[in-house]
Amino acid sequence: MTWEALVFLIFSVITLGSGALVVTTRNLFHAALYLMLSLFGVAGLFVLLTAPFLAGVEIVVYIGAIAILIIFAIMLTPQVMQIPHLRSNQWIAALVAAALFFLMLVSVLTPLAEELGVDNWSAGFTQDDPADVPADTLTTLGESLVDPDLYVLPFEVASVLLMAALVGAAMMVRPEEPEPRRSEPAPVVEPGAEQATTGGD
């Protein structure tokens, strides 16, 4: 086993293992932490794929911003901690659907397709010796993002989208001051909500 295969194995186990915990853990705060771990694994896979810039962005954007935003939302919606039923009642159906979907993807994507006698259009997927990445991908990436012939328009559209999302999100959760308060402003949640009534001071 080469070291690349070993690193790949480690990071995919981190990604998939904590990904599975994200969707099964009862405590939402833990789920968010596992989400961070899973995304960290994805960043590791990016490094393995010689895309260090994307790995860095993955950590900054996902772990540094999105996951923290999610944790804030979890804390601002207190009763999420004591949901009696973790899963909806059609969770078995969901499990079956997800498993079937996974099997379908696997059968298409892997050499298994050839074993089954299907056309070998997936032959390209068994490739394990790709060409080298050009040395200064980072510079090329930066320049192509602002190159009028390449991606400047999508880039600007993306920034407008981000701006719109930002303004929209801020507008939506703005406290409605003129009306009489229809609900208490979300109180700060006590950690370990079971003891919230007695402990916490």
Residues 88-107 that bind another protein (CB under 8 A): 88, 90-91, 93-95, 97-99, 101-102, 105-106
According to CB under 8 A, which residues from 15 to 34 bind another protein?
15-16, 19-20, 22-23, 28-33
**Which one among 50, 118, 120, 146 touches another protein, defined by CB under 8 A?**
50
Pick 31 or 117: Cβ nearer another protein: 31
Distance CA 26, CA 86 (A): 6
For residue 44, state whether it binds another protein (rule: CB under 8 A). no
Radius of gyration for the alpha carbons in the chain, expressed in angstroms and rounded: 23
Establish if 120 lies at the interface with another protein (CB under 8 A): no
**Minimum distance of another protein from residue 150's CB (angstroms):** 8
Q: Which of 148, 173, 177, 179 binds another protein (CB under 8 A)?
A: 173
> Quick check: 193 and 81 in contact, CB under 8 A?
yes
CB atoms within 10 A of CB 81: 19
Chain centroid offset of residue 185 CA: 29
How deeply is 190 buried, as exposed, middle or buried, from its count of CB atoms within 10 A (0-12, 13-18, 19+)? middle
Closer CB to another protein, 78 or 117, in the complex: 78
Is residue 10 helix, strand or coil? helix
Q: How far, in Å, CA of 12 to CA of 5, rounded?
A: 10
Decide if residue 146 touches another protein (CB under 8 A): no
| Min CB(118)–another protein separation in Å | 14
CA 140 to chain centre: 26
Q: Which is nearer to another protein, 41 or 117 (CB)?
A: 41
Compute the distance between CA of residue 161 and CA of residue 164 in angstroms, rounded to an integer: 5
63 binds another protein (CB under 8 A): yes
Report if residue 152 touches another protein, rule: CB under 8 A.
Answer: no
Q: 157-163 long-range CB contacts below 8 Å, 24 or more apart? A: none
Rounded Cα distance between 117 and 100, Å, is 20
Binding residue for another protein, selected from 82, 119, 134, 197, defined by CB under 8 A: 134
Q: Residue 114 interacts with another protein (CB under 8 A)?
A: no
Judged by beta carbon, residue 118 or residue 165, the one nearer another protein is 165
